[in-house]
Structure 1
Amino acid sequence: MSESVQNKYVPQIKIPATYMRGGTSKGVFFKLNDLPEAAQQPGVARDQLLLRVIGSPDPYEKQIDGMGGATSSTSKTVILSKSESAEHDVDYLFGQVSIDKPYVDWSGNCGNLSAAVGPFAIANGLVDASRIPENGVVEVRIWQVNIQKTIVSQVPVVNGQVQETGGFELDGVTFPAAEIPVAFKDPADGEGAIFPTGNLIDELDVPGVGVLKATLINAGIPTIFINADDIGYVGTELQDVINGDGKALAMFEAIRAHGALRMGLISDISEAANRQHTPKVAFVGPPVDYLSSSGKSVNASDIDLVVRALSMGKLHHAMMGTAAVAIAAAAAIEGTLVNLAAGGGGQRNAVTFGHPSGSLRVGAEASLNEGRWHIDQAVMSRSARVLMEGVVRIPGDSF
């Protein structure tokens, strides 16, 4: 090969990165100042860099040439920096990378990866050393940049290092690890009302589907809840039933788009295609016995309701952490579809719901002030682990 041909192509560059699992998701974590200068600010360069790291857009939907795992749960990126606020340790920015489109969605948070932010921050010098005991628990105060909210993570430390191994089991994750309680403070997205329409239940008219009862809530992440039996389901369906049915996926996308419009998240239905990460759409039902995706029995007597949720156009294999916050918030308020599916009967400060991989318990504190609902915080336990750390490589002309 001639020298002129050899010099035609720009070589790969190295970017320090850590590949982490947080809850039931995985993502590539970066420190802001480790990114190339052009990508240290929001914009096209940053988006193109992250797309190339993950391996998108991929018309084959496999992300073979990148770090993504070809699902919404594994097509994620996180950028962290020492917080500019005295009340927080770390600023956390989340980017959901589309698999088949050249698009990074910055419109919401990832609740699962929130559990990995604290451990990463401690291990990478983003938390003041004076706050890290030799043995004990570090309260990491996280500023979630996407939704401008506070998350507080309780990270165990042993011998001055983050404890990653442990006996905490999380359905949807194969192996146990150390438990990390995560509290989402005032989790309504942005400055909007928890119920954007002012109603606990709305009627959503979706062409081709009909009029559906829906709870449109803005807590953790904007979420559209509908009753499973209104769309011909039970609420115990696993991924193959939904994800292998193109007609069903189109129906859910139509519901999501019209719900987004009603919630004021978009001004025209056509805009939904470029806002894939939010809102989520979920369907709920009363507790019933079923077998999880791993073959584990989930007993109706052990749960309050069943919930299935879609993320980036596909049924999630477990439950998004932010959607779990929305479930907890809706369950805490009497009269929502989630509360009614759990049996109604007043406010709840905790709920256990069944999802495709098993079950999860989440708590929320709700209060009614001057006729407006407010969620003080939602709490759940997750786990996190470093899978690999070092550098990722991408062609130098990718961004």
Structure 2
Amino acid sequence: MSQTEIPFLFMRGGTSRGPYLNRADLPADLETLAEVLIAMVGSGHPLNIDGIGGGAAVTTKVAMLSRSEDDWADIDYFFAQVSVEDRLVDFKPTCGNILSGVGPAAIEMGLIDAKDAETTVNIRAVNTEARVSAVVQTPNGEVCYDGAAQIDGVPGTAAPVALQFMETVGGVTGAFLPTGNLIDTIDGIDVTCMDVAMPMVIARASSFELTGYESAAELDENTAFYARMEAVRLKAGALMGMGDVTKSVTPKFGLLAPARNGGTVATRYFMPWKCHPTMAVTGAQCLASCVLTPGTVADGLIAKPNENPASIVLEHASGDIGVLVDYTQSAEGFQVNSAGLVRTARKLASGSVFIPRSVWDGK
């Protein structure tokens, strides 16, 4: 056989999709693993024509699962963001949308047994050490994908997957505010650098002469904006202690504007070299935390909620997403305790994916 065969599930998780793999079926060293994932996805071509990627950042994501040795977790979830065209793999971030499929995939793979009615799967996000409880619908001990839950960016409805994110603060940089400041000014742009579930650089859309209501396509065509944004992001990455982030998808970038469709605030999220068609689950938590924290760039855009946990509705390019944030506000400052979201997932295919044996022989 001239190719190496690797078992996989192909799943939609939230508003992303990609292969879900057993970590034991893959090479241990990251350099070889990166080459395997590049070949699998077909990175290096805008259509990923020689792989199973979909030609967009939300469809070139990979989840790798294993039984966890952590006292709390059932499953370890190792995430990889594979670039569409640049043959790059970033193991630094995690992805909350793909995480929506981790619970169902772990059950389908036999890594955890399903219970009757519903199954709680405790997940350790290896990349950031976040802990997430996922409640999966399992009537009669089998994963159910049919249901009435609807999320913007995905057609139709499906069974809900309830996610509760814990210990997400400082997962990459070690700090809630990696620069130590609520606001930094970079190239004349006021930004808040924050690390909750995902390290982000957050600014007001108006700082870039944008409304914040532009479509993803309109923003992607605005090369002048991207040039300014990337310059700010690179300098912010250094200030956040992340070094040279030229080839890293983190920190991500977010824009805020006043809500106009009944939500809490209007947002746009960047991956970072294209606008997300909807919203990342991790990014949603960071943006919601920014909105709730006094003294950030979000001040003046919204009326601060008084309830706790606070329901924050982020308007995005395809609709909205709700985040329920449990927090503590004290003399020591603002603290995020946990964040809850409802997502959906669906198994699309299962079987084997093949890569050239010259990339990895499977041993």
TM-score tier by shorter-chain length is over 0.9
Specify which of 124, 133, 142 is matched with residue 115 of structure 2.
133
Structure 1 CA distance for aligned equivalents of residues 298 and 111 of structure 2: 38
For 1:200, give the aligned amino acid. Answer: L
In structure 2, runs of 5+ residues without a counterpart are: none
1:332–1:365 Cα contact (<8 Å) kept:
no
TM-score, scaled to structure 2: 0.94
Deviation at 1:339, TM superposition (A): 5.1
Number of the residue aligned with 1:282: 254
The answer to whether the aligner puts 1:77 opposite 2:58 as a matched pair is no
- 8 Å contact from structure 1 (residues 180, 383) kept in 2: yes
Which residue of the partner structure matches residue 20 of structure 2? 29
Correspondences of 1:121-160 after superposition (within 5 Å): 121-127=106-112, 129=113, 132-134=114-116, 136-160=117-141
**Distance between the aligned counterparts of 1:233 and 1:16, measured in 2?**
46
The reply on whether 1:261 has 2:248 as its aligned counterpart is no
What amino acid does structure 2 have at the position aligned with 1:45?
T
Q: 1:357 and 1:89 mapped to 2: Cα distance? A: 33
User: Structure 2 residue aligned with 1:334, among 294, 301, 316?
Assistant: 294
State the match for 1:245 in structure 2: 222
Tell me the SS of whatever aligns to 1:159.
helix
Deviation at 1:368, TM superposition (A): 4.4
Give distance in 2, aligned partners of 1:171 and 1:394: 34
Encode CA deviations 1:315-365: one digit per residue, 9 max, x unaligned: 110001110111222223223223542234667622111101001111212
Aligned mate of 1:310, from 249, 257, 270: 270
Q: Which among 157, 160, 180 is matched to residue 198 of structure 1?
A: 180
- The aligned residue for residue 246 of structure 2 is 273
Letter in 1 for 2:30: G
Report the 3-state secondary structure (helix = DSSP H, G, I; strand = E; otherwise coil) of the residue aligned with 2:106: helix
Identity of aligned residues (%): 30
Confirm or deny that 1:231 pairs with 2:208.
Answer: yes
SS in 1 for 2:298: helix
Cα distance change of structure 1 residues 247 and 24 upon mapping to structure 2, 3 Å threshold? same
1:14-25 alignment runs, 5 A limit: 14-25=5-16
| 3-state SS of 1:88 partner | coil
Instruction: Decide whether the 8 Å contact of 1:334 with 1:346 is kept in 2.
Output: no
Q: Is 1:375 paired with 2:330?
A: no
Secondary structure at 2:101's aligned position in 1? helix
Structure 2 counterpart of 1:322, one-letter code: T
Amino acid at match of 1:74: T
- Post-superposition shift, 1:252? 1.9
1:96 CA displacement: 0.2
Aligned length: 358
For residues 121-166 of structure 1, give each alpha carbon's deviation from its aligned partner in whole angstroms, at most 9, with x where no partner exists.
1121212x3xx322x2211100110001211111111111011111
With normalisation by structure 1, the TM-score equals 0.86
Deviation at 1:203, TM superposition (A): 1.6
